[in-house]
Chain A
Amino acid sequence: RKEVEQDPGPFNVPEGATVAFNCTYSNSASQSFFWYRQDCRKEPKLLMSVYSSGNEDGRFTAQLNRASQYISLLIRDSKLSDSATYLCVTDRGSTLGRLYFGRGTQLTVWP
Protein backbone atom coordinates (compact mmCIF):
# COMPACT_ATOMS: atom_id res chain seq x y z
CA ARG A 1 0.00 0.00 0.00
CA LYS A 2 1.33 3.43 -0.89
CA GLU A 3 2.09 5.91 1.88
CA VAL A 4 -0.16 8.54 0.34
CA GLU A 5 -3.12 8.02 -1.97
CA GLN A 6 -4.85 10.69 -3.97
CA ASP A 7 -7.57 10.76 -6.57
CA PRO A 8 -5.62 11.74 -9.71
CA GLY A 9 -8.61 13.53 -11.23
CA PRO A 10 -8.68 15.42 -13.47
CA PHE A 11 -11.03 17.88 -11.87
CA ASN A 12 -12.41 20.39 -14.36
CA VAL A 13 -14.31 23.27 -12.75
CA PRO A 14 -15.51 26.70 -13.87
CA GLU A 15 -14.08 29.89 -12.43
CA GLY A 16 -15.65 30.75 -9.13
CA ALA A 17 -16.41 27.14 -8.20
CA THR A 18 -15.49 25.51 -4.93
CA VAL A 19 -13.47 22.31 -5.26
CA ALA A 20 -12.21 19.85 -2.66
CA PHE A 21 -9.47 17.23 -2.79
CA ASN A 22 -8.94 14.42 -0.34
CA CYS A 23 -5.87 12.41 0.37
CA THR A 24 -5.41 9.37 2.59
CA TYR A 25 -2.23 8.31 4.34
CA SER A 26 -1.33 4.87 5.60
CA ASN A 27 0.88 5.49 8.65
CA SER A 28 -0.91 6.49 11.85
CA ALA A 29 2.37 7.87 13.23
CA SER A 30 2.57 10.56 10.53
CA GLN A 31 3.17 13.97 12.05
CA SER A 32 3.79 16.42 9.24
CA PHE A 33 1.32 17.17 6.47
CA PHE A 34 1.57 19.52 3.53
CA TRP A 35 -0.13 20.46 0.30
CA TYR A 36 2.08 21.38 -2.63
CA ARG A 37 1.12 22.60 -6.07
CA GLN A 38 3.04 21.76 -9.20
CA ASP A 39 2.55 23.60 -12.45
CA CYS A 40 3.29 21.84 -15.72
CA ARG A 41 7.05 21.31 -16.17
CA LYS A 42 7.83 23.20 -12.97
CA GLU A 43 9.01 22.27 -9.51
CA PRO A 44 6.58 21.53 -6.66
CA LYS A 45 5.94 24.57 -4.47
CA LEU A 46 4.60 24.57 -0.95
CA LEU A 47 1.00 25.69 -0.87
CA MET A 48 0.37 25.25 2.84
CA SER A 49 1.17 23.13 5.84
CA VAL A 50 -1.74 21.29 7.43
CA TYR A 51 -2.25 21.66 11.16
CA SER A 52 -4.24 19.47 13.49
CA SER A 53 -6.90 22.07 14.08
CA GLY A 54 -7.21 22.87 10.40
CA ASN A 55 -6.00 26.08 8.84
CA GLU A 56 -6.93 28.61 6.22
CA ASP A 57 -4.90 30.78 3.89
CA GLY A 58 -7.08 33.08 1.83
CA ARG A 59 -9.25 30.94 -0.44
CA PHE A 60 -7.52 27.73 0.65
CA THR A 61 -8.55 25.64 3.65
CA ALA A 62 -6.75 22.52 4.80
CA GLN A 63 -8.16 19.96 7.23
CA LEU A 64 -6.64 16.96 8.96
CA ASN A 65 -8.66 13.99 10.18
CA ARG A 66 -6.36 11.75 12.20
CA ALA A 67 -9.03 9.20 13.07
CA SER A 68 -9.70 8.45 9.42
CA GLN A 69 -6.17 9.29 8.29
CA TYR A 70 -7.00 11.76 5.60
CA ILE A 71 -6.28 15.36 4.80
CA SER A 72 -8.29 17.63 2.58
CA LEU A 73 -7.82 20.81 0.62
CA LEU A 74 -10.71 23.13 -0.18
CA ILE A 75 -10.34 25.86 -2.77
CA ARG A 76 -13.04 28.50 -2.83
CA ASP A 77 -13.77 30.94 -5.66
CA SER A 78 -11.45 29.10 -8.08
CA LYS A 79 -9.27 31.22 -10.36
CA LEU A 80 -7.79 30.29 -13.71
CA SER A 81 -4.39 30.51 -12.04
CA ASP A 82 -5.35 27.69 -9.67
CA SER A 83 -4.99 25.22 -12.55
CA ALA A 84 -2.17 22.90 -11.47
CA THR A 85 -1.49 19.52 -9.91
CA TYR A 86 -1.97 19.41 -6.15
CA LEU A 87 0.30 17.06 -4.23
CA CYS A 88 -0.47 15.67 -0.81
CA VAL A 89 2.63 15.11 1.34
CA THR A 90 3.27 13.46 4.66
CA ASP A 91 5.97 11.68 6.65
CA ARG A 92 6.12 8.47 8.70
CA GLY A 93 6.43 10.18 12.02
CA SER A 94 10.20 10.25 12.25
CA THR A 95 12.18 13.44 11.86
CA LEU A 96 14.60 11.96 9.38
CA GLY A 97 13.21 14.21 6.71
CA ARG A 98 11.71 11.51 4.55
CA LEU A 99 8.55 12.98 3.04
CA TYR A 100 6.17 10.97 0.89
CA PHE A 101 4.35 12.53 -2.02
CA GLY A 102 1.05 11.47 -3.46
CA ARG A 103 0.77 11.21 -7.20
CA GLY A 104 -1.17 14.45 -7.32
CA THR A 105 -4.64 15.61 -8.27
CA GLN A 106 -4.90 17.57 -11.49
CA LEU A 107 -7.14 20.63 -11.46
CA THR A 108 -8.19 22.66 -14.48
CA VAL A 109 -10.22 25.82 -13.96
CA TRP A 110 -11.97 27.01 -17.09
CA PRO A 111 -13.34 30.49 -17.81
Chain B
Amino acid sequence: DTAVSQTPKYLVTQMGNDKSIKCEQNLGHDTMYWYKQDSKKFLKIMFSYNNKELIINETVPNRFSPKSPDKAHLNLHINSLELGDSAVYFCASSRKSVGGNSPLHFGNGTRLTVT
Protein backbone atom coordinates (compact mmCIF):
# COMPACT_ATOMS: atom_id res chain seq x y z
CA ASP B 1 0.00 0.00 0.00
CA THR B 2 3.03 2.29 0.22
CA ALA B 3 2.50 5.21 -2.16
CA VAL B 4 6.14 6.02 -2.95
CA SER B 5 8.63 3.31 -2.12
CA GLN B 6 12.36 3.41 -2.56
CA THR B 7 15.06 0.82 -1.97
CA PRO B 8 17.37 0.31 -0.31
CA LYS B 9 16.66 2.22 2.91
CA TYR B 10 20.32 2.17 3.92
CA LEU B 11 23.34 1.96 1.67
CA VAL B 12 26.90 1.86 2.96
CA THR B 13 29.63 1.61 0.37
CA GLN B 14 33.20 2.54 -0.33
CA MET B 15 34.52 5.39 -2.39
CA GLY B 16 34.79 4.61 -6.07
CA ASN B 17 31.94 2.11 -6.14
CA ASP B 18 28.85 2.36 -8.35
CA LYS B 19 25.42 2.03 -6.77
CA SER B 20 21.76 2.36 -7.68
CA ILE B 21 18.65 3.43 -5.81
CA LYS B 22 15.22 2.42 -7.04
CA CYS B 23 11.91 4.20 -6.68
CA GLU B 24 8.36 3.26 -7.52
CA GLN B 25 5.08 5.09 -7.02
CA ASN B 26 1.57 3.66 -7.21
CA LEU B 27 -0.27 6.97 -7.03
CA GLY B 28 -0.70 7.31 -10.78
CA HIS B 29 1.33 10.53 -10.75
CA ASP B 30 2.95 11.81 -13.92
CA THR B 31 5.99 13.45 -12.37
CA MET B 32 8.76 11.96 -10.27
CA TYR B 33 11.77 13.54 -8.59
CA TRP B 34 15.02 12.92 -6.84
CA TYR B 35 15.89 15.22 -3.95
CA LYS B 36 19.03 15.22 -1.84
CA GLN B 37 19.09 16.17 1.84
CA ASP B 38 22.55 16.88 3.14
CA SER B 39 23.91 16.88 6.67
CA LYS B 40 22.59 20.41 7.19
CA LYS B 41 19.09 19.09 6.41
CA PHE B 42 18.77 21.22 3.29
CA LEU B 43 16.49 19.54 0.71
CA LYS B 44 17.55 20.23 -2.85
CA ILE B 45 16.09 19.01 -6.11
CA MET B 46 18.36 16.97 -8.38
CA PHE B 47 16.16 15.67 -11.18
CA SER B 48 12.57 15.57 -12.31
CA TYR B 49 10.89 13.36 -14.90
CA ASN B 50 7.47 13.85 -16.39
CA ASN B 51 6.08 10.80 -18.16
CA LYS B 52 9.56 9.36 -18.61
CA GLU B 53 10.93 12.63 -19.98
CA LEU B 54 13.65 14.54 -18.12
CA ILE B 55 12.38 18.04 -17.35
CA ILE B 56 14.61 19.23 -14.52
CA ASN B 57 18.32 18.57 -14.30
CA GLU B 58 19.92 20.74 -11.65
CA THR B 59 23.65 21.24 -11.41
CA VAL B 60 24.47 17.70 -10.47
CA PRO B 61 27.73 15.90 -11.33
CA ASN B 62 27.29 13.65 -14.35
CA ARG B 63 28.24 10.71 -12.13
CA PHE B 64 24.55 10.81 -11.22
CA SER B 65 22.31 9.36 -13.91
CA PRO B 66 18.56 9.02 -13.48
CA LYS B 67 16.52 6.56 -15.51
CA SER B 68 12.77 6.33 -15.85
CA PRO B 69 11.66 3.13 -17.56
CA ASP B 70 8.00 4.13 -17.15
CA LYS B 71 6.11 6.86 -15.36
CA ALA B 72 5.78 4.81 -12.18
CA HIS B 73 9.52 4.22 -11.77
CA LEU B 74 12.52 6.49 -11.40
CA ASN B 75 15.91 5.05 -10.56
CA LEU B 76 19.14 6.81 -9.70
CA HIS B 77 22.53 5.39 -10.59
CA ILE B 78 25.66 6.88 -9.08
CA ASN B 79 29.11 6.16 -10.49
CA SER B 80 32.45 6.53 -8.73
CA LEU B 81 30.96 7.43 -5.37
CA GLU B 82 32.68 10.16 -3.36
CA LEU B 83 32.62 10.98 0.35
CA GLY B 84 30.59 14.11 -0.39
CA ASP B 85 27.79 12.01 -1.86
CA SER B 86 26.86 10.87 1.65
CA ALA B 87 23.34 12.15 2.25
CA VAL B 88 19.73 11.08 2.34
CA TYR B 89 18.21 10.74 -1.13
CA PHE B 90 14.45 11.12 -1.38
CA CYS B 91 12.30 10.08 -4.27
CA ALA B 92 9.04 11.97 -4.68
CA SER B 93 6.09 12.19 -7.03
CA SER B 94 3.35 14.68 -7.82
CA ARG B 95 0.27 14.82 -9.97
CA LYS B 96 -0.26 17.17 -12.86
CA SER B 97 -1.87 20.45 -11.86
CA VAL B 98 -3.19 23.59 -13.48
CA GLY B 99 -2.23 27.04 -12.27
CA GLY B 100 0.50 26.09 -9.86
CA ASN B 101 2.37 23.09 -8.58
CA SER B 102 0.99 20.11 -6.73
CA PRO B 103 2.57 19.04 -3.46
CA LEU B 104 5.15 16.28 -3.44
CA HIS B 105 4.70 12.85 -1.95
CA PHE B 106 8.00 11.52 -0.67
CA GLY B 107 9.40 8.06 -0.31
CA ASN B 108 11.00 7.17 3.01
CA GLY B 109 14.49 7.98 1.84
CA THR B 110 17.76 6.17 1.18
CA ARG B 111 20.53 6.98 3.64
CA LEU B 112 23.76 6.72 1.66
CA THR B 113 27.05 6.57 3.53
CA VAL B 114 30.26 6.56 1.55
CA THR B 115 33.37 5.47 3.46
* Total number of B residues with any Cβ neighbor in A under 8 Å: 28
Is there an interface contact between B103 and A97, defined as CB atoms closer than 8 Å?
Answer: no
A99 touches B45 (CB 8 A): yes
Query: Is A16 engaged at the interface, CB distance under 8 Å to the other chain?
Result: no
Q: Tell me what chain A mostly uses at the interface: helix, strand, loop, or mixed.
A: loop
The 0/1 profile, CB within 8 Å of B marked 1, for residues 41-68 of chain A is 1111110010000000000000000000
Task: Judge whether A97 and B40 touch: CB under 8 Å.
Answer: no
**Most chain A beta carbons < 10 A, residue from B33, B102, B108:** B102
Q: How distant is A3 from chain B, measured CB to nearest CB, in Å?
A: 11
Interface size on A, residues (CB 8 A): 22
CA distance A43 to B52 in the complex (A): 24
Instruction: Tell me if B43 and A101 are in contact (CB < 8 A).
Output: yes
Residue B31 CB within 8 A of the other chain: yes
Minimum CB distance partner of B40 in chain A? A103
Contact yes or no, B99 A31, CB < 8 A:
yes
Interface residues of A (CB under 8 A from B): 31-32, 34, 41-46, 49, 85, 87, 89, 91, 95-99, 101, 103-104
Q: Can you spell out 18 A-B residue pairs with CB atoms less than 8 angstroms apart?
A: A31-B99, A32-B100, A32-B102, A42-B108, A43-B90, A43-B109, A44-B43, A46-B104, A49-B103, A91-B100, A96-B56, A97-B48, A97-B50, A97-B55, A98-B48, A98-B101, A101-B42, A103-B42
